[in-house]
Amino acid sequence: MTGLEVNLTAPNGHKITLPTGLFINNEFVKSSSGDKIKSINPSDESEIASVEAASAEDVDKAVKAARAAFQSEAWGGISGTDRGALMFKFADLIEEHKETLATLETWDNGKAYSVSLNEDLAETIAVIRYYAGWADKIHGLTIPTHPQKFAYTLKQPLGVCGQIIPWNFPLMMAAWKFGPALACGNTIVLKPAEQTPLSILYLATLIPKAGFPPGVINIVNGYGKEAGNALVSHQDVDKIAFTGSTITGRAVMKGASINLKNLTLETGGKSPLVVFKDADIEQAAKWGHVGIMYNQGQVCTATSRILVHEDVYDEYIKQFKDVVAANKVGNPFDDDTFQGPQVTQAQYERVLSYIESGKSEGAKLATGGVPHKNVGNGKGFFIEPTVFTDVTENMKIFQEEVFGPFVVITPFKTEEEAVRLANNSCYGLGAALFTQDVERAHRVSAKLEAGMVWVNSSNDSDIRVPFGGVKQSGIGRELGAAGLEAYSQTKAVHINMGLKL
């Protein structure tokens, strides 16, 4: 034992040796300030472990390590094929350790273990493999410009990339950012969210095993205001990729302006789901439910505003409540649990405060609206799935992102009104619509102000398809080929083959 690891036994009996240091230059090290982050189990409020929290000085060390790796022959000098091979090995190792990683994810975050294992880990592995496949297919163009001249373009990495991720999908968000950054040949300093620092530390142990040279991937757990801010405002960081709240996104944009960093932001949402009267109501209720209640409602793309045609409004609410009742809130390690606890006490209190707001503004509480106290020791941050109906567009609960198992349902009369209501938001991440009229599906899809539209579905996300928002939901795209654009730059080289002056 180095003093920077702990032996843990998880609630599912899994035994784990977990490093607790900052991961810089392929080594776990102590924080220079001695600051720590205490990780709390949201299911029973017990402490799981205490890990090192990075200071600005530690962030600087990580950036220096990343810069040296970027300039090294061991990383900067290898081919895309070789980079891809390291990434494939990394994905294989994650797969080998997926039960341990999924256990840590559920313990720390509260999401159902079946989801951690079969969805978060499956996608983490898939996205690294997807971008490993791209690593040797990133190249420029040849452009004829004159009989004796031509130009070509080189796709080059940006350099040192700072990546700041949230707590709702810790490993998946790390993988979405690692994949394209590594494929393009960048180096990384990743700052996980302070609410969920654990799974990424175990993941870090696999980085040297995969063969990545020191400094290519550095991981600095830490607090947003200290470590996050130090990364964003560092003069030798070339890019910031951020996922989190819109308010922090604004601070990130401001801080990153110090040296005009390249920026991608994936921020908040209040995505609408529109149910027209010709929709398959049963399907619209089931997709609507999963679209908001999945992951305890802690999804940036969650379809948290449901707009329903007045003729099918009552029937829709009835069916939606039936689906809510059929899904268990409980211990995330139980096989049949759909909804676990909110990630932290702060998020739990935030959701409860919006319940009060909904009541005081005169919305009708159709179900839920109270903590759920029937799990384990009666502690933990569980909330009954909450549905407010008769919600009007000026209410706070219609406009603000709650980020919990909390949905508002609003009636509409015409297609025009539905589109106007759907677009009445400062956000524009996702939008869903249910109709059997193919013309309407395309017409409305084009009018919705959103980065992604789901027709007769909700919250589809695929590693091959661009993901991101418009308005205050973000800048730039992740995933798919579009994700590579965010981590490479185009250099134009002009060649004169003999044109004399």
Residue from the set 214, 215, 268, 358 that interacts with ligand NAD by CB under 6 A: 268
Residue from the set 52, 194, 415, 478 that interacts with ligand NAD by CB under 6 A: 194
The first and second tokens of residue 486, run together, are 């965010």
Residue 233 Cβ vs ligand NAD, minimum distance, rounded to whole Å: 8
Residue from the set 67, 111, 191, 289 that interacts with ligand NAD by CB under 6 A: 191
Is residue 251 at the binding interface for ligand NAD, with CB under 6 A as the rule?
yes
Task: Pick between residue 132 and residue 237 the one whose CB is nearest to ligand NAD.
Answer: 237
Is residue 58 at the binding interface for ligand NAD, with CB under 6 A as the rule?
no
Angle, helix 98-109 to helix 80-96, in steps of 10 degrees? 70
Measured distance CA(130)–CA(464) in Å, rounded:
8
Residue from the set 26, 43, 168, 262 that interacts with ligand NAD by CB under 6 A: 168
Residue 223 Cβ vs ligand NAD, minimum distance, rounded to whole Å: 6
Residue from the set 86, 87, 252, 312 that interacts with ligand NAD by CB under 6 A: 252
Reply yes or no on whether 449 is catalytic: no
* CA distances to 74, 124, 176, 319 from 86, in Å: 12, 15, 16, 49
Is residue 243 at the binding interface for ligand NAD, with CB under 6 A as the rule?
yes
**Pairing of the two strands 364-367 and 386-389:** antiparallel
The first and second tokens of residue 361, run together, are 């503004």
The first and second tokens of residue 468, run together, are 């991101």
Piece in contact with ligand NAD (CB under 6 A), picked from 78-86, 197-205, 242-250, 412-420: 242-250
Is residue 166 at the binding interface for ligand NAD, with CB under 6 A as the rule?
yes
Is residue 193 at the binding interface for ligand NAD, with CB under 6 A as the rule?
yes
Check residue 403 and give left, alpha or beta (phi > 0: left; psi -120 to 50: alpha). left
Task: Pick between residue 311 and residue 349 the one whose CB is nearest to ligand NAD.
Answer: 349
Question: 65, 43 in Cβ contact below 8 A?
Answer: no
Residue 270 Cβ vs ligand NAD, minimum distance, rounded to whole Å: 9
Question: 166, 193 in Cβ contact below 8 A?
Answer: yes
Q: What residues numbered 388-407 form the site for ligand NAD, per CB under 6 A?
A: 401, 403
- Three state DSSP letters for 189-242: EEECCCCCCHHHHHHHHHHHHHCCCCCCEEECCCCHHHHHHHHHCCCCCCEEEE
Task: Pick between residue 184 and residue 232 the one whose CB is nearest to ligand NAD.
Answer: 232
Selection from 311, 320, 314, 303 nearest residue 413 by Cα: 311
Measured distance CA(24)–CA(217) in Å, rounded:
8
Task: Pick between residue 331 and residue 347 the one whose CB is nearest to ligand NAD.
Answer: 347
Is residue 15 at the binding interface for ligand NAD, with CB under 6 A as the rule?
no
Task: Pick between residue 100 and residue 168 the one whose CB is nearest to ligand NAD.
Answer: 168
The first and second tokens of residue 282, run together, are 């049963």
Residue from the set 20, 39, 43, 248 that interacts with ligand NAD by CB under 6 A: 248
Measured distance CA(501)–CA(498) in Å, rounded:
10
Residue 298 Cβ vs ligand NAD, minimum distance, rounded to whole Å: 7
Is residue 234 at the binding interface for ligand NAD, with CB under 6 A as the rule?
no
Residue from the set 80, 157, 213, 244 that interacts with ligand NAD by CB under 6 A: 244
Is residue 117 at the binding interface for ligand NAD, with CB under 6 A as the rule?
no
Strand segments (E) across 206-341: 217-219, 239-243, 262-266, 272-275, 305-309, 328-329, 337-339
Q: One of 52, 123, 226, 266 is an active-site residue; which one?
A: 266
| Catalytic sites, residue numbers | 266
Q: Which residues bind ligand NAD (CB under 6 A)?
A: 164-168, 191, 193-194, 224-225, 228-229, 232, 243-245, 248, 251-252, 266-268, 300, 350, 401, 403
